[in-house]
Amino acid sequence: MDPIRVDVTHDRAAYPVLISPGLSRHLPGLLHAQGVTSQCLVVSAPPIWRLHGARFRRLPGAGARPALLPDGERAKTLDSIDRLYTECVRRRLDRSATIVAVGGGVVGDVAGFAAATYLRGIRIVHVPTTLLAQVDSAIGGKVGVNLPAGKNLVGAFHPPALVVCDPQFLQTLPPREFRSGLYEVVKYGVISSPSLFDTLETSLSAVLARDMDRLTRVIAECCRIKASVVMADEREAGPRRVLNFGHTIGHALEAITKYRRFRHGEAIGHGMLAAAHLSALRGLLTAADEARLAGLIGAMGALPRVTDLSIADALDVVARDKKVVRGQLHFVLARGLGATEIVTDVTRRDLQAAMRHLGMKP
**Catalytic hit among 126, 151, 158, 240:** 240
**Residue 251 catalytic?**
yes
From 219, 186, 181, 220, select the one nearest 200 (Cα to Cα).
Answer: 186
**Catalytic hit among 241, 247, 263, 277:** 247
**Residue 152 catalytic?**
no
Spatial separation of the C-alpha atoms in residues 122 and 212, rounded to whole Å? 34
Backbone angles phi, psi at 337, to 5 degrees: -100, 110
**Catalytic hit among 123, 264, 270, 330:** 264
**Residue 26 catalytic?**
no
**Residue 270 catalytic?**
no
**Catalytic hit among 76, 83, 142, 323:** 142
**Residue 240 catalytic?**
yes
**Residue 247 catalytic?**
yes
Spell out the residues 6+ positions from residue 284 whose beta carbon is closer than 8 angstroms to its own.
333, 334, 335, 336, 341
**Residue 95 catalytic?**
no
**Residue 348 catalytic?**
no
Spatial separation of the C-alpha atoms in residues 3 and 263, rounded to whole Å? 29
> What's the burial of 140, exposed, middle or buried (CB within 10 Å: 0-12/13-18/19+)?
buried
**Catalytic hit among 76, 146, 179, 184:** 184
Spatial separation of the C-alpha atoms in residues 139 and 17, rounded to whole Å? 8
**Catalytic hit among 55, 123, 224, 251:** 251
Angle at which helices 247-256 and 348-358 pack, to 10 degrees? 70
What is the three-class DSSP state of 309? coil
**Residue 264 catalytic?**
yes
Residues carrying an active site annotation: 120, 142, 184, 226, 236, 240, 244, 247, 251, 264
